[in-house]
Amino acid sequence: MTRVRWTRSLRFRLLAATLVALALALLLAGWGLAGLFRQHVMRQFETSLTQQLDQLTARLEFDAAGQPQIDPQTLSDPRWHKPYSGLYWQIDQVSRNGQARSSVLRSRSLWDTRLELHPDDLADGALHAHEGIGPQGAAVLMLERTVRPDEQPEARWRLVVAANTQDSLQAVARFNGVLATSLLVLGLLLVLAALAQVAVGLSPLRALQRALAQVREGQAARLQGQFPAEVQPLIDDFNGVLERNAEVVARARTHAGNLAHAIKTPLAVLGQAAAQSLQASPGDPALARLVQEQVATARRHIDWHLARSRAAAAQRLPGLRTPLAPVAAGLVRVMQRVHAARALRIDTTGVPDALAFAGEEQDLQEMLGNLLDNACKWARTTVRISATGTADGLCVAVEDDGPGIDEAARDAVLARGVRMDETVPGSGLGLAIVNELAQLYGGQLRLRSSELGGLRVTLSLPMAA
């Protein structure tokens, strides 16, 4: 799962592509620079050695017998005279076929050794450079040239100069070390720059994530903020989807309301006719009472399905936020007027002002109103409302000091139409409506015993920031 998640990460893809490109570029740059420097050093080394060979050629003379001679004092470099100094010269006589050679003269720096040359045949005056092994097993670069004296055109002489390559190779190695360190530091700086570039480049996505969180938590109804031109079309399209969704929900709710109003009006007429019939014919009230009961049942079902449809639409609508404290205070005022004769004490001090419900205000009023109404019906003297915000969402508790409900019967009262006491007014739909609305919002309803002695109803709902 971790591997799949990383491969789907845009940050990982950008960094991986950048790091691979940087690594290839730095490796190619290091290889190219190291090769160019080595080539330059060896070219300079060969140029210096060519000058030495030119000097040796210029000092070459022949005696009366046609043998080559070189006055060592005419050679300017003191390394010619120091044994194993790293700079050597040698003159060989070449046979007519160019294959056999014999050493005739050599520099004092060669001491008791001689340069071993390849058996190659060169044109007169041509240069030939090759690597070989010199005195004491040191690696040397050799330059050869074949000359013919004017006095003896048939004789051929091979002039050779050689120099140790150790110093040049060490210079190349030092340069490669410095180059590798420099490229490593440059690579680290480029990696940091790539990290900064990715962070800055993806910062609009983090801003978009925060804007989406505000919509999800009910702090905004649409995406708000400044975004780059490449992201702004996506923001506009998403806001358009949110607006169209809100319009569809609003139209659906309006149609549902209109339908409910259209149905409630004939029901009201039927109820009024049944009441008038009951007053006009008190001796035969069965039909009128039947009509009244059916009208009341139809009204309860209409209210039930309206609440369901409203919650089902609202629980998927982003940007909803309803403060809890004002709704609770308004419902308490209503309950105090409805139950004024009983002088109930309704405590709302446990409801913080900062808590908010991520849903429609009408749904919160429906749920909390039913819970308060039930608590007030059964309470003796006190009803208490409290609320807390947790990691799981908003938790609202309504308690009373009434008789409570047995634990075995608590699940049954959440079913539609079940009433624990027929003497208490009600339809048996209150807790069932609250339970189903809470479930539509992803919450739940729990019944427990209260510290006040009665029932404690806990309502879990999504919380808005």
Condensed to tens digits (0 to 9), the pLDDT of residues 379-395 reads 999 999 999 988 888 99
Beta-carbon contacts of residue 257 (< 8 Å; ≥ 6 apart): 306
Beta-carbon contacts of residue 135 (< 8 Å; ≥ 6 apart): 84, 88, 110, 111, 113
CA 15 to chain centre: 11
Handedness of CA 407, 413, 418, 420 (dihedral sign): positive
Q: N- to C-terminal Cα distance for the chain?
A: 31
- Which CA distances in Å does 94 have to 58, 105, 106? 19, 13, 15
Give residue-wise pLDDT tens across range 404-427: 888 777 776 766 444 444 444 444
d(CA 376, CA 163): 111
Q: What is the dihedral of CA 446, 448, 450, 451, to 10 degrees?
A: -120
Give residue-wise pLDDT tens across range 109-154: 888 888 887 776 677 777 888 888 888 888 898 888 888 877 777 7
pLDDT score of 64 more than 90: no
The DSSP call for residue 163 is E
d(CA 441, CA 360): 10
If you count DSSP H runs as helices and E runs as strands, how many of each does the chain have, helices first? 8, 15
Among residues 90, 168, 78, the alpha carbon closest in space to that of 135 is found at 90
Phi-psi category of 394—alpha, beta or left, where left has phi over 0 and alpha has psi -120 to 50?
Answer: beta
Q: For the domain made up of 322-464, give the CATH fold.
A: Heat Shock Protein 90 (3.30.565)
- At 395 the three-state DSSP class reads strand
The predicted pLDDT at position 322 comes to 87
The predicted pLDDT at position 428 comes to 44
- Enumerate the domain spans of the chain: 1-59+170-216, 60-164, 242-314, 322-464
Phi, psi of 50 (to 5 degrees): -65, -40
Among residues 73, 119, 75, 71, the alpha carbon closest in space to that of 99 is found at 119
Please compute the mean of the pLDDT values over residues 295-308 and round it to a whole number: 68
Phi, psi of 184 (to 5 degrees): -65, -45
Q: In what order do the strands lie in the sheet with 322-323?
A: 322-323, 356-357, 463-464
Beta-carbon contacts of residue 149 (< 8 Å; ≥ 6 apart): 62, 66, 155, 157
Give residue-wise pLDDT tens across range 2-27: 454 666 777 888 888 889 999 999 99
The predicted pLDDT at position 167 comes to 87
Handedness of CA 247, 251, 254, 256 (dihedral sign): negative
d(CA 176, CA 33): 9
- For 166, how many CA atoms within 13 A lie in the half-sphere containing its CB? 11
Give residue-wise pLDDT tens across range 232-251: 888 888 888 888 877 777 77
The answer to whether the CB of 307 falls within 8 A of the CB of 437 is yes
